Amino acid sequence: TLVAGVVAVQGDVEEHAKAIERAARAHGREVTVHEVRESGIVPDCDLLAMPGGESTTISRLVHDQGIDDEIRDHVDAGKPLLATCAGLIVASSDANDDRVDELGLVDASVERNAFGRQKDSFEAPLEVAGLEEPYPAVFIRAPAIDDAGETDVLARWDGRPVAVRDGPVVATAFHPELTPDSRIHGLAFFENEESIGPALEETAE
């Protein structure tokens, strides 16, 4: 059984836990999900999700709890991380906001709340590299990526990158945990050499 962690200092944690379970089931894997509110849990996790919420708050709390270095070690070890919305902002290399202490795990510069006031929240059918059918992407006061650096851009909206892969990290500006469609979690965790999918196949019972 795989061990998953959802960074749970703030944001939509329960939805990510459910989405991880759905994606695991779709890939014939078993997973136990832990909520991560303090240090000492991430080192035991095979895969991690960092949810949306409020990026300045998440940044401060992961730092205060000493979870930031553990997340860095997780990614350095090549284990998959899915960072969504505020999670993308915290994982980025430049949040363009002094109140965010970026983890620098995704080589991207982001703009917070980039899609404008009247478009605070919207759903868009997104073409995502690696997915056959468009993904129903829910954007809520979403960031956009200004500079996708050396990352692989997986999806764009309005011409701007909104999903990228950087090694073991998949980061999205939208909320893949808010729809029943768990394909983004599948992509991040189970369907790539850089995910745990193929690599752990023999050890899964």
Q: What residues line the site for ligand GLN (CB under 6 A)?
A: 52-55, 85-86, 89, 112-113, 140-141, 143
| Catalytic site residue from 15, 16, 45, 85 | 85
Q: Minimal distance in Å, beta carbon 164 to ligand GLN?
A: 16
| Catalytic site residue from 21, 70, 102, 177 | 177
Q: CB-wise, 15 or 46, nearer to ligand GLN?
A: 15
* Cα-based angle 109, 133, 90 (whole degrees, multiple of 5): 20
* Annotation marks residue 63 as catalytic: no
Q: Minimal distance in Å, beta carbon 162 to ligand GLN?
A: 13
Q: CB-wise, 17 or 86, nearer to ligand GLN?
A: 86
- The answer for residues whose C-beta is within 8 angstroms of residue 99's C-beta and 6 or more apart is 56, 59, 60
Q: Minimal distance in Å, beta carbon 92 to ligand GLN?
A: 11
- The answer for residues whose C-beta is within 8 angstroms of residue 177's C-beta and 6 or more apart is 12, 15, 16, 18, 19, 49, 51, 84, 185
Q: CB-wise, 89 or 108, nearer to ligand GLN?
A: 89
CA distance 71 to 52: 16
196 in a labelled binding site? no
CB atoms within 10 A of CB 149: 16
29 in a labelled binding site? no
* Annotation marks residue 85 as catalytic: yes
Report the DSSP pairing between strands 81-84 and 47-50. Answer: parallel
* Annotation marks residue 45 as catalytic: no
53 in a labelled binding site? yes
For helices 183-190 and 13-26, give the axis angle rounded to 10 degrees: 70
Residue 54 backbone phi and psi in degrees, to 5: -125, 115
55 in a labelled binding site? yes
Instruction: Please give the annotated binding residues for L-glutamine, written as ranges.
Output: 53-55, 112, 140-141
Known binding-site residues equal: 53-55, 112, 140-141
Catalytic residues: 85, 175, 177
